Chain A
Amino acid sequence: DAGITQSPRHKVTETGTPVTLRCHQTENHRYMYWYRQDPGHGLRLIHYSYGVKDTDKGEVSDGYSVSRSKTEDFLLTLESATSSQTSVYFCAISESTVNSNQPQHFGDGTRLSIL
């Protein structure tokens, strides 16, 4: 299995609080991604990173920010959590862009509940 660790694995918090999820990889892959998975929507891309300090938005980026100060760490922050952000969040990594025919490798997810 690819060395991807997500933390925390579970979190319950209240509306309006800030939340930060961490993804740590030991594969030295250049690309890192944050997805959310919700019933009826499959996986949707939130943000991705193509290098240290290089990030871009995905299809559902509103209300989320990311940072990547080191190759191995990619942080996802909910500045002020809302109930609509209750979801399971997955981090993924890949060696190169998806158009270079490289697969993505996923962590085991963080289950986030916002009350």
Chain B
Amino acid sequence: SQQGEEDPQALSIQEGENATMNCSYKTSINNLQWYRQNSGRGLVHLILIRSNEREKHSGRLRVTLDTSKKSSSLLITASRAADTASYFCATALRGAQKLVFGQGTRLTINP
């Protein structure tokens, strides 16, 4: 199974609501990153949280990291139609020179 797994696989909410996506992983990490991918485009980096950090904010984004549970969550507040995209978590494994991506959460914001 994958190192990083997002939950849910798909999420549909009304504009203005908050969206929460979760990511679980299996082995020790140096950092965890969240990316967004719009249809037909490449991934865009949103936020990076280090293994010694518990929470990080960037605009309407809030990321938490619980290393004891090996999990992270991404919260998007006051969602907008433009937030419709797929969201991926990626883990930087200790001692490895690579990111391991999950399969993503497909987020749809309904007007």
Interface residues of A (CB under 8 A from B): 4, 33, 35, 40-45, 48, 50, 56, 58-59, 90, 92, 97-99, 101, 103-109
Task: Output the nearest chain B residue to A98 by Cβ-Cβ distance.
Answer: B92
Q: Which chain B positions have C-beta within 8 A of A56?
A: 97
B contact residues, range: 20 to 34
8 nearest CB pairs, A to B:
A106-B42, A103-B45, A98-B92, A43-B101, A42-B103, A106-B43, A99-B30, A42-B101
CA distance A6 to B96 in the complex (A): 26
Q: Are A48 and B45 in contact (CB under 8 A)?
A: no
Q: Are B94 and A99 in contact (CB under 8 A)?
A: yes
Q: Which chain A positions have C-beta within 8 A of B2?
A: 42
Q: Are A42 and B97 in contact (CB under 8 A)?
A: no
Task: Write the nearest CB–CB distance from B110 to chain A, whole angstroms.
Answer: 23
Which residues, 48 to 71 on B, are CB-close (under 8 Å) to A?
A: 48, 50
Instruction: Give the A-B pair count, Cβ closer than 8 A.
Output: 67
Q: Which chain B positions have C-beta within 8 A of A43?
A: 43, 88, 90, 101
Interface flags, B7-34, vs A, CB<8A=1, else 0: 0000000000000000000000011010
Q: Which of A40, A50, A58, A90 contacts B43 (CB 8 A)?
A: A90
Q: Are A101 and B88 in contact (CB under 8 A)?
A: no
CA distance A98 to B45 in the complex (A): 13
Task: Write the nearest CB–CB distance from A57 to chain B, whole angstroms.
Answer: 10
CA distance A58 to B35 in the complex (A): 20
Q: Which chain B positions have C-beta within 8 A of A109?
A: 40-42
Q: Which chain A positions have C-beta within 8 A of B45?
A: 103-105
A-B contact pairs, 27 of them (CB 8 A): A41-B103, A42-B88, A42-B103, A43-B43, A44-B101, A45-B99, A48-B98, A50-B97, A56-B97, A92-B42, A92-B43, A98-B31, A98-B97, A98-B99, A99-B94, A101-B30, A101-B50, A101-B92, A103-B33, A104-B33, A104-B43, A104-B45, A105-B45, A106-B42, A106-B44, A108-B42, A109-B40
